[in-house]
Amino acid sequence: MDLSPQTSNDISFDDFKKQILEDYKIAVLSRTCSLMGRKEVLTGKAKFGIFGDGKELPQLAMARSFKNGDFRSGYYRDQTFMMALDLLKPKDLFHALYATTDIEKEPMSAGRQMVGHFLTYSLNEDGSWRDLTQQKNSSADISCTAGQMPRLLGLAQASKIYRNLKNIDASKFSKNGNEVAWGTIGNASTSEGMFLETVNAGGVLQVPMVISIWDDDYGISVPPEYHATKEDISEMLSGFQRSDDQEGYEMFKVKGWDYTALMHTYENASDIAREEHVPVVIHVTELTQPQGHSSSGSHERYKSQERLQWEKEHDCNKKFREWILETGITTEEELKSIEKSISKEVRSAKKEAWAEYLAPHKTLKKTLTNLLDKVAAKSQNKSFITKLKNDLIAIEEPIKKELAVSARKAFRFLLGEDFQEKKELLEWTNTFLADTQPMYSKNLYSERPNRATNIPEVKPVYPENPEKVDGRIIIRDNFDKLFEKYPNTLIFGEDTGAIGDVNQGLEGLQKKYGKMRVADTGIRETSIIGQGTGMALRGLRPIAEIQYLDYIFYALATLTDDVACLRYRTFGKQKVPLIVRTRGHRLEGIWHSGSPMGALIHSLRGMYILSPRNMTQAAGFYNTLLKSDEPALVVESLNGYRLKEDRPTNLGELCTPIGVVETIKEGRDITLVSYGSTLRIVAQAVDELKEVGIDAEIIDAQTLLPFDIRHDTLKSVKKTNRLLVIDEDVPGGCSAYILSEILEIQGAYQFLDSAPQTLSAKAHRPAYGTDGDYFSKPNAEDVFERVYAIMHESDPENFPQLR
Helices 148-164 and 193-205: crossing angle in degrees, nearest 10, is: 10
User: Is there a contact between 216 and 54 (Cβ–Cβ < 8 Å)?
Assistant: yes
DSSP code of residue 169: -
Cβ neighbours of residue 470 closer than 8 Å, sequence gap 6 or more: 641, 642, 643, 644, 645
- Say how far apart CA 179 and CA 71 lie, in whole Å: 8
Clarify whether 592 is annotated catalytic.
yes
For the residues of 53-116, what is the DSSP string, one character each? TT-HHHHHHHHHH--TT-EEE--TT-HHHHHHTT---HHHHHHHHHT---TTTSTTTTTSS-TT
* Region class of 573: left (phi > 0), else alpha (psi between -120 and 50), else beta: alpha
Distance CA(31)–CA(290), nearest Å, equals 10
Q: What angle do CA 699, 700, 701 make, to 5 degrees?
A: 110
Q: Give the closest residue to 532 by CA, choosing from 465, 589, 594, 582.
A: 582
Gap between the Cα atoms of 4 and 70, Å rounded = 13
- CB 462, CB 648: distance < 8 Å: yes
Which of 542, 457, 426, 422 has its CA nearest to residue 160?
Answer: 542
Q: Residues near 205 by Cβ (< 8 Å), separated by ≥ 6? A: 153, 156, 157, 160
AA identity, residue 46: A
Please report the DSSP string for 7-29 in residue order.
-TTTS-HHHHHHHHHHHHHHHHH
Q: Pick the catalytic residue from 592, 602, 764, 792.
A: 592
**Rounded Cα gap, residues 79 and 465, in angstroms:** 65
Query: Do residues 331 and 17 touch, judged by C-beta distance below 8 A?
Result: no
- 164: three-class secondary structure by DSSP: helix
Could you give the CA distance from residue 678 to residue 453 in angstroms, rounded to a whole number?
Answer: 24
Nearest-angstrom CA–CA distance, 85 and 138:
11
Asked whether the beta carbons of 617 and 795 are under 8 A apart, the reply is no
Closest Cα partner for 534 from 81, 139, 75, 129?
139
* Closest by Cα among 221, 215, 157 to 187: 215
**697/106 Cα distance (integer angstroms):** 51
Provide φ and ψ at 646, rounded to 5°: -70, 135
**3-19 burial: b if 16+ Cβ within 10 Å, else e:** bebeebeeeeeeebbeb
**How do beta strands 71-73 and 137-138 pair?**
parallel
Active site residues: 592
